[in-house]
Chain A
């Protein structure tokens, strides 16, 4: 449960709200309170699940007695020693010398109302398993029950289960282990980790290529002549109006049908080979085309709004000094635009980074694809958690950074201006950027009234 929303400001805790702010402040305070309450419930629930015993579900066993010596000896079997990773406890009873034999298998088959259900199976005709002296039947075990396997006796203890016990419980739980199996997670970790640089590379490169494309589109959209404006508008409408998933399918499967593409592959057959990070060059090409062409459409709007948010007086001042339109754009308007749109651009990057997951649909071995392969081979969904953690590894710090950038921008741009006191640090909900500039907040530094920079809604 991660809270990056409007409430999660670093510097201002829930108590630091200015009492003078308007109704939007009150509603955000309520939202914040609800968020914190939910978070508290989840944390307390987790702690309870880990550390408070819900029944006689103990991992420690005490074995008492050996038939051949009569001397009581105590053997502590940690759950790790006694349980194979899985559900079963194999009780090994040493016989004659050093030969070990699996005499019986005690299995935890699951939980009922939080209480472990056990099953007992002897592996030799002569061996019987007893509970408190009577032949054992399947079911829950009372605390302090004495288990016997032939003449070996073990005491079943209740108590706090601890973290390893928690992991073991997860592993043994019929339902939970399908989603959070520690064994599958540790197995999936290196596999998914190998996809992390692939996802990052697709995100970063797609973003970098999208910048000039987006800038060109934004200039076209601002052009005086319709012959530039209309194609750009059409392009942006089409790209923003269709699912990226569909765009990936179209680009990846349609481009190879082009004769030009075929002759390209004939001329450069190595393009089909595995390239950097194990992804073939053809996939790099097509994947980056779809990512950057898609992102460019969104960036075009960011650039356009950013450029138009710069006060007209800036270009007038530049032009009055004899600068050409291009010089004015390059040395006066764009440098200011860059600072102003930086936070929005970074959340665009976060979105694009997350969207690389959709490349799994066409088999690019990025994180989600790898997680899916693990899930398919283990019949277990735990690997998806690993992928989620890797995404959060980048998105949460970046989101925080965007937020601090917003705040700093609001301060620095507003410092000398008339609007300094009114500029509200813009809260940025990175994981749901449709809500980026809430309540029509004034863009920091915008001199001519409220001007917002559009951000796409999450897809």
Chain B
């Protein structure tokens, strides 16, 4: 579909303003197919906003984003078609509380991809088994732990066969003992070749899994490189300062 060196996501001069507050001040970035990019930074640095601009949950104020061959920032683009191919997992899970785990994973398959019920159900169960919840398919979100809910959310996104997955601080709302299960799912996903953009504070995960680490502060990318480069030999003072606080 595309040449190997052509980025699957390309961001150029991205700006985002909330009123007078400038959250993104011109971000340039490319993500290759199969890459796992971890985005780090202090809160308010714009990393979540960057992620949310990629599937246009936030409307960029300036700049361009291309996803595969589509320009997302083009107002003529049918964003719903693009979003089908971009999976997103949220910090607060956002499962649909009126549907079971299986129902959560089935809904968009049926309504958006127009899969018939039997197929949607088969894929839903398959995905739930993959995230280790084969015995919880008929549970309602309220009956699941936070970690289980988050894994359902991942299965829900994966069922749409996304080409890219966006993870927005997906373990931040979890109790420490539940984090591991979610990270394990993400690791397996990365090992399977999924292209991932991950905003996280899990430094261990970033170091082990990321193919690239991006450090953001004040709405710009301050520094990026392999996890070893960024974590062990940070160039910028802001990166050093941030990593010092994290440890």
Contacts and interface: CB of A to CB of B under 8 A. Distances in A.
Contact of A322 (B83, B92, B98, B144): B83
A413 to B, nearest CB: 7
B111 A413 contact: no
Contact of B86 (A317, A320, A415, A417): A320
Interface core residue of B55, B94, B160 (most chain A CB under 10 Å): B94
A335 B98 contact: yes
A23 B183 CA distance: 45
Contacts of A313: 90, 92, 94
B90 A317 contact: yes
A317 B91 CA distance: 11
Interface string B137-179: 0001111110001000100110010000000000000000000
B83 A319 contact: yes
Contact of B57 (A319, A417, A445, A447): A319
Given A320-B86, A322-B80, A336-B97, A416 B144 contact: yes
Contact of B111 (A319, A323, A417): A323
A415 B111 contact: no
B94 A314 contact: yes
Given A322-B160, A323-B111, A323-B112, A317 B96 contact: yes
Interface in B82-113: 83-84, 86-88, 90, 92, 94-98, 107-108, 111-113
B172 to A, nearest CB: 14
A108 B141 CA distance: 73
Interface stretch (A30-38, A324-332, A364-372, A379-387): A324-332
Nearest to B57: A316
Interface size class for chain B? 20 to 34
B208 interface: no
Contact of A412 (B83, B84, B88, B142): B142
A428 to B, nearest CB: 22
A376 to B, nearest CB: 53
Interface core residue of B84, B144, B149 (most chain A CB under 10 Å): B84
Contact of A324 (B80, B144, B157): B80
A331 B107 contact: yes
Interface string A106-145: 0000000000000000000000000000000000000000
Interface size class for chain A? 20 to 34
A191 B88 CA distance: 65
A318 interface: yes
A321 B160 CA distance: 8
A308 interface: no
B84 A317 contact: no
A322 B90 contact: no
Contacts of A28: none
Interface in A296-318: 311, 313-314, 316-318
Interface core residue of B96, B141, B160 (most chain A CB under 10 Å): B96
A422 to B, nearest CB: 15
B115 to A, nearest CB: 13
A339 interface: yes
Contact of A320 (B88, B95, B97): B88
Contacts of B153: 317
A419 B151 CA distance: 21
Contact of B142 (A317, A318, A413): A413
Nearest to B91: A313
Nearest to A417: B142
15 contacts: A313-B94, A314-B94, A317-B94, A317-B153, A318-B96, A320-B57, A320-B83, A320-B86, A320-B90, A332-B107, A336-B97, A413-B97, A416-B142, A416-B143, A417-B142
9 closest Cβ pairs, A-B complex? A416-B142, A321-B108, A317-B94, A322-B84, A313-B94, A320-B88, A415-B142, A322-B112, A322-B83
Given A331-B107, A416-B149, 11 more contacts: A314-B96, A317-B94, A318-B108, A320-B157, A321-B156, A322-B113, A323-B112, A327-B111, A415-B143, A416-B144, A447-B92
